[in-house]
Amino acid sequence: MKTKILSLMIVGVLSASCSVNHLRSSDTQLYHPPVSSKKVEVYSTDQVTRPYTAIGEVVTSVDAWGTGRSSVKHLKKEAAELGADGIVNLRLEIGSGILANAVTASGTAVRFEEKAVK
């Protein structure tokens, strides 16, 4: 009986899907309206061809059943809620623990600067 309960608990823990989101903002003076997460561009470097302003650092973590793709999807959602047009310096990290593993995505949410109209 104890083995059955323990087995059910382990299956429950492993099958539970969870994600964690976190923001550390550096732009507290300006409000940017939310945008569609489908429009948020992601770059693995900060060397992009367009000028931008950093809004803040965003971090998401999904459990081991998730993938880097799902972690980046959550990251784009968080950045979009801040009104970011893009994420630069994307970092993916796979962590392992006793009960579960996690895929963590982090980066800097940015707002691209508009070109001056002449």
Domain of 50, CATH number, reads: 3.30.110.70
pLDDT over 90 at 68, yes or no: no
CA 35 from centroid of its chain's CA atoms = 15
Give the residue-averaged pLDDT of 51-74.
85
Whether residue 24 lies inside any domain: the answer is yes
pLDDT, tens digit (0-9, with 9 covering 90-100), for 69-117: 888 999 999 999 999 999 999 999 888 777 667 888 999 999 998 865 5
Domains in the chain: how many in total?
1
Quote the CA–CA distance of 34 and 30 in Å, as a whole number. 13
Q: Which residues pair with 26 in a beta bridge?
A: none
Please state the φ and ψ torsions of residue 74, each to the nearest 5 degrees. -65, -35
> Looking at residue 36, what is its pLDDT?
92
User: Looking at 21-25, 63-67, 93-97, 112-116, which range is the least confident one?
Assistant: 21-25
Work out the mean pLDDT of the chain and round it to a whole number: 77
**Angle at CA 111, nearest 5°, toward 109 and 115?**
155
Domain of 83 in residue numbering reads as 17-112
In a domain, 10, yes or no: no
Is the four-CA dihedral 5, 67, 39, 49 of positive or negative sign? Answer: positive
Supply the pTM of this predicted model: 0.70
Q: Is there a domain that residue 3 lies in? A: no
